[in-house]
């Protein structure tokens, strides 16, 4: 289903984020493929070619990034799971990979973990090669797979103690179980734990060795609200302690709350990246409900140039543009002159979910 | 909830692995504990061998030729015990670990794959030692009088373990877990029936018999009987047969084992 088109004003893809339709050509200027000005992203510093300065070649020390991917490609037979994906996850930061099912998030993470080999491109994890330097990397990196990985018959504390025993200075397994609310399940076999308890144990196993970097593949999927908040607090605790975190998620709320950097992935490519604030932009929008079928062309004529208005679904109106007090006054005055009583009138920032859906489309993916 | 200990959690990175031998010991201890807790494994490794030993030694259900019955049965049961642990138990256990992503997950820890294989081997040997103690105790109570060189017995059991482990891991690392479960149990019952464990191979026609003697279970049972029943010093042919199976099994497992 195509995105409902806006009446007048901006094209639906006029986002205040860097769109990487063509990841190379689009990388240098504030002008996007849509011809609109886009603010440069502070996360990717670059020189302005108009200044005539020589192009600065990055001589960053290898440890500046926790993860550095460049032109990553991974095919499974005829299907391309990852198609030239590049991003950097900052050291000591939380980086969220956001994308629809099948976007290539798990494949990307598994390449970083050394479980899969890329068909092309380079991978650096803590400055090292996940395959060649596996022996050196394993103690420094914690991994939480999407599901499973613990024997069904193993008791929760038993498996956690086993992995702790591989490490020189592990966390106290009992304290970690307590922190995640699993103390009373310490002796429960893994297969008898609920899905949420299994997830939390899996997270505990990933961090018990006090790693510098953790990969968490959908850490809160299937958790109830309490468990999700406990997990978020633990991830925030990791970040505060200087641990680099790379996680995948479907939850916009999770990415907005936790991530320093959000990388939106679709069809194996990065379609946008930046901090949640950069991605959602400073732009505000005005929403209200009223009777369906208002004459939006007429309203638009009364609004400043560059504004946009649409009705979707019926009776729900959205006005985008330079939302100032005058615009609000214009809208309410126009409504008053047409005898329209608005309900739920509010001014809000775009959410990450808005950005995500605009970038990745609204159609359901299999 | 113990918020006190939770508050003390220091998440500051402090990575580092312990030396490999300590990792292997930790993994071995863990595998032993889970195996000894597992009812099906105990049935396979302890209960079935002891029941067969008692049943066929104490009754005259089978014609075992001259000599005391237990002297013939006990070495066969020791061979069966080795097969149940090194082949059947290991194939099924490892097959399901692969299926549930345990091997993959352990692959993300500092424990290297060689360390995991070493731990599994040590676990198998420890369980076999336990089986040998229990089976010998029951056999001695039934009047068993073993002969021969204990070192020859150890050599036979270690070679047999290598042969059965190779094929157990080959199965676990290539088939689906359910297929491994079915096939490993089928092979166990088949070899129990035709491998000279409790039914003497003399009963089979001579052509069939010479083929059956090349099976690893027959070689192990026959070798153990040559030593323990007849006091042979070092049974050459069984050792050769077992060595060939061990080389083939381990080489195939190393070549075809898929970790996920």
Give residue A17's pLDDT band: very low, low, confident or very high (50, 70, 90).
very low
Identify the sign of the CA torsion A123, A126, A127, A130: negative
Q: Touching check for B39 and chain A: CB below 8 Å? A: no
Last residue of one domain, picked from the residues A235, A257, A279: A279
Predicted local distance difference test score (pLDDT) of residue B220: 96
CB distance A149–B14 less than 8 Å? no
Q: Which residues of B touch A207 (CB under 8 A)?
A: 11
Contact yes or no for B33/B27 (Cβ under 8 A):
no
Look at residue B113 and tell me whether its pLDDT is greater than 80: yes
Predicted local distance difference test score (pLDDT) of residue A24: 40
Tokens of B98: 């692969």
A84 within some domain: yes
Q: Which residue of A has its CA nearest to B34?
A: A154
Q: How far is A242 from A244, CA to CA, in rounded Å?
A: 6
Q: Touching check for B206 and chain A: CB below 8 Å? A: no
* Total count of residues recorded for chain B: 260
Look at residue A33 and tell me whether its pLDDT is greater than 50: no
Q: Which residues of A touch B109 (CB under 8 A)?
A: 138, 163, 166, 209
Averaged pLDDT score across all residues of chain B: 90
Q: Touching check for A238 and chain B: CB below 8 Å? A: yes
When pLDDT is averaged across residues A168-188 and rounded to a whole number, the result is 95
Q: Touching check for B32 and chain A: CB below 8 Å? A: no
Upstream peptide bond of A313 is cis (omega within 30 degrees of 0): yes
B residues 1..30 contacting A (CB < 8 A): 1-3, 5-6, 8-18, 22-23, 26-27, 30
- 3-state SS, residue A25: helix
A83 within some domain: yes
Which of A93-97, A308-312, B58-62, B210-214 shows the lowest per-residue confidence on average (mean pLDDT)?
A: B58-62
| Nearest beta carbon to residue A139 from set B16, B97, B260 | B16
Predicted local distance difference test score (pLDDT) of residue A46: 39
A339 burial type by CB count under 10 A (0-12 exposed, 13-18 middle, 19+ buried) = exposed
Give residue for tokens 């000279």.
B196
pLDDT digits (tens, 9 = 90+) for A116-156: 999 999 999 999 999 999 999 999 999 999 887 898 889 99
Which of A41-50, A72-81, A217-226, A230-239 shows the lowest per-residue confidence on average (mean pLDDT)?
A: A41-50
| Nearest beta carbon to residue A209 from set B1, B2, B15 | B15
CB distance A209–B8 less than 8 Å? no
Look at residue A80 and tell me whether its pLDDT is greater than 50: yes
Give residue B59's pLDDT band: very low, low, confident or very high (50, 70, 90).
confident
Look at residue A37 and tell me whether its pLDDT is greater than 90: no
Q: How far is A20 from B248, CA to CA, in rounded Å?
A: 54
- How close, in Å, is residue B42 to chain A by CA atoms? 14
ipTM over 0.85: yes
A336 within some domain: yes
A296 within some domain: yes
Q: Touching check for A212 and chain B: CB below 8 Å? A: yes
Give residue B64's pLDDT band: very low, low, confident or very high (50, 70, 90).
low
Predicted local distance difference test score (pLDDT) of residue A147: 83
- How close, in Å, is residue A231 to chain B by CA atoms? 13
| Nearest beta carbon to residue B100 from set A139, A152, A176 | A152
Residues A177 and A263 in one domain: yes
DSSP A87-148: EEEETTSEEEEE--TTSSHHHHHHHHTTSS--SEEEEEETTB-TTTTHHHHGGGEEEE-SS-
Residues A123 and A230 in one domain: yes
Beta partners for residue A95, in sequence order: A246, A261
A246 within some domain: yes
Look at residue B202 and tell me whether its pLDDT is greater than 80: yes
Q: How far is B157 from A159, CA to CA, in rounded Å?
A: 31
- Compute the CA torsion angle B116, B119, B121, B125 (nearest 10 deg): -170
Predicted local distance difference test score (pLDDT) of residue A101: 84
Q: How far is B201 from B206, CA to CA, in rounded Å?
A: 9
B93: nearest Cα among B23, B44, B158: B44
The CATH number of the domain where A307 resides is what? 3.30.70
Tokens of A104: 């290539």
Q: Touching check for A163 and chain B: CB below 8 Å? A: yes
The CATH number of the domain where A91 resides is what? 3.40.50.300
Residues A210 and A332 in one domain: no
Q: Touching check for A211 and chain B: CB below 8 Å? A: yes
Predicted local distance difference test score (pLDDT) of residue A313: 85
- How close, in Å, is residue B166 to chain A by CA atoms? 22
Look at residue A58 and tell me whether its pLDDT is greater than 60: no
- 3-state SS, residue A78: coil
Predicted local distance difference test score (pLDDT) of residue B207: 87
Q: How far is A126 from A120, CA to CA, in rounded Å?
A: 19
CB distance A166–B260 less than 8 Å? no
A210 within some domain: yes
Give residue A23's pLDDT band: very low, low, confident or very high (50, 70, 90).
very low
When pLDDT is averaged across residues B142-152 and rounded to a whole number, the result is 91
For A219, residues 6+ apart whose C-beta sits below 8 A from its C-beta are A144, A199, A203, A231, A235, A247, A249
Contact yes or no for A166/A209 (Cβ under 8 A):
yes
When pLDDT is averaged across residues A26-39 and rounded to a whole number, the result is 38
Residues A254 and A109 in one domain: yes
Look at residue A21 and tell me whether its pLDDT is greater than 70: no
CB distance B18–A141 less than 8 Å? no
Look at residue A60 and tell me whether its pLDDT is greater than 50: no
Residues A247 and A129 in one domain: yes
B252 burial type by CB count under 10 A (0-12 exposed, 13-18 middle, 19+ buried) = middle
When pLDDT is averaged across residues A340-344 and rounded to a whole number, the result is 88
* Total count of residues recorded for chain A: 366
- How close, in Å, is residue B37 to chain A by CA atoms? 9
Residues A265 and A298 in one domain: no
Predicted local distance difference test score (pLDDT) of residue A20: 42
Q: What is the CA radius of gyration of chain A?
A: 24
A47 within some domain: no
When pLDDT is averaged across residues B218-228 and rounded to a whole number, the result is 94
Predicted local distance difference test score (pLDDT) of residue B15: 94
Q: How far is B86 from B91, CA to CA, in rounded Å?
A: 8
A53 within some domain: no
Task: Please tell me the total count of domains within chain A.
Answer: 2
Predicted local distance difference test score (pLDDT) of residue B131: 95
* Structural domain that includes position A145: 63-279
- How close, in Å, is residue B133 to chain A by CA atoms? 26
When pLDDT is averaged across residues B9-23 and rounded to a whole number, the result is 94
A234: nearest Cα among A260, A214, A252, A263: A214
DSSP chain B: --HHHHHT---S----B--HHHHHHHHHHHHHHHHHH-HHHHIIIIIHHHHHHHHHHHS-SS---SS-HHHHHHHHHHHHHHIIIIIIIHHHHHHHHHHTTHHHHHHTSS--HHHHHHHHHHHHHHHHHHHHHHHHHHHHHTT----S-HHHHHHHHHHHHHHHHHHHHHHHHHS-HHHHHHHHHHHHHHHHHHSSSSS-GGGS-HHHHHHHTTSHHHHHHHHHHHHHTT--S--HHHHHHHHHHHHHHHHHHHHH----
Averaged pLDDT score across all residues of chain A: 81
Q: Touching check for A148 and chain B: CB below 8 Å? A: yes
């Amino acid at each position: 289903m195509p995105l409902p088109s806006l009446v007048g004003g901006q094209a639906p893809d006029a986002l205040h984020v860097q769109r990487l339709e063509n990841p190379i050509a689009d990388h240098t200027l504030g002008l996007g493929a849509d011809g609109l000005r886009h603010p440069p992203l502070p996360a990717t510093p670059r020189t302005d070619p108009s200044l005539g300065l020589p192009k600065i070649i990055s001589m960053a020390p290898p440890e500046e990034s926790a993860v550095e991917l460049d032109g990553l490609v991974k095919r499974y037979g005829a299907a391309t799971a990852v198609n030239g994906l590049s991003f950097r996850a900052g050291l000591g930061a939380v980086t969220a990979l956001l994308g629809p099912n099948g976007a290539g998030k798990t494949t990307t993470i598994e390449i970083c973990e050394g479980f899969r080999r890329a068909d092309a491109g380079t991978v650096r994890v803590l400055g090292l090669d996940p395959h060649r330097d596996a022996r050196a990397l394993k103690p420094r990196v914690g991994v939480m797979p999407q599901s499973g990985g613990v024997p069904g018959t193993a008791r929760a504390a038993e498996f956690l103690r086993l992995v702790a025993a591989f490490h020189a200075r592990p966390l106290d397994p009992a304290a970690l179980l307590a922190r995640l609310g699993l103390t009373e399940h310490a002796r429960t076999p893994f297969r008898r734990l609920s899905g949420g308890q299994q997830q939390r144990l899996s997270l505990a196993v990933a961090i018990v060795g006090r790693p510098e970097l953790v990969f968490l593949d959908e850490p809160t999927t299937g958790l109830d609200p309490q468990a999700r908040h406990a997990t978020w607090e633990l991830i925030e605790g990791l970040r505060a302690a200087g641990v680099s975190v790379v996680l995948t998620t479907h939850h916009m709320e999770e990415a907005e709350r936790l991530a320093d950097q959000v990388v939106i992935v679709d069809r194996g490519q990065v379609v946008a990246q930046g901090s949640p604030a950069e991605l959602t932009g400073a732009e505000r929008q005005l929403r209200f409900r009223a009777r369906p079928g208002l004459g939006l062309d007429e309203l638009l004529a009364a609004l400043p140039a560059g504004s946009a208005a649409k009705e979707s679904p019926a009776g729900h109106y959205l006005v985008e543009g330079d939302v100032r007090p005058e615009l609000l006054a214009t809208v309410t005055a126009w409504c008053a002159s047409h005898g329209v009583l608005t309900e739920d009138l509010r001014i809000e920032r775009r959410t990450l979910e808005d950005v995500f859906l605009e970038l990745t489309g609204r159609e359901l993916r299999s | 909830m113990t918020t006190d200990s939770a508050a003390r959690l220091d998440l500051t990175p402090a990575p580092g692995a312990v030396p490999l031998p300590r990792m292997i010991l930790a993994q071995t201890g863990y595998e032993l504990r889970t195996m000894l807790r597992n009812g099906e494994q105990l049935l396979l490794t302890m209960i079935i061998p002891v029941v067969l030993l008692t049943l066929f030694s104490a009754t005259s259900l089978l014609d075992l030729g001259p000599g005391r019955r237990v002297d013939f049965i006990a070495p066969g049961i020791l061979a069966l015990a080795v097969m149940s642990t090194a082949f059947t138990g290991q194939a099924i256990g490892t097959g399901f670990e692969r299926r549930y992503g345990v091997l993959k997950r352990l692959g993300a820890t500092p424990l290297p794959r060689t360390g995991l294989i070493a731990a599994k081997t040590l676990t198998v040997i420890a369980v076999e030692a336990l089986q040998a103690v229990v089976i010998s105790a029951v056999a001695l109570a039934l009047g068993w009088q073993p002969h021969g060189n204990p070192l020859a017995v150890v050599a036979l059991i270690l070679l047999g373990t290598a042969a059965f482990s190779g094929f157990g891991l080959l199965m676990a690392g290539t088939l689906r877990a359910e297929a491994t479960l079915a096939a490993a149990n089928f092979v166990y019952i088949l070899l129990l029936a035709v491998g000279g464990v409790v039914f003497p191979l003399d009963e089979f026609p001579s052509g069939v018999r010479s083929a059956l003697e090349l099976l690893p279970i027959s070689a192990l049972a026959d070798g153990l009987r040559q030593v323990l029943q007849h006091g042979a010093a070092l049974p050459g042919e069984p050792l050769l047969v077992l060595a060939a199976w061990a080389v083939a099994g381990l080489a195939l497992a190393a070549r075809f084992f898929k970790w996920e």
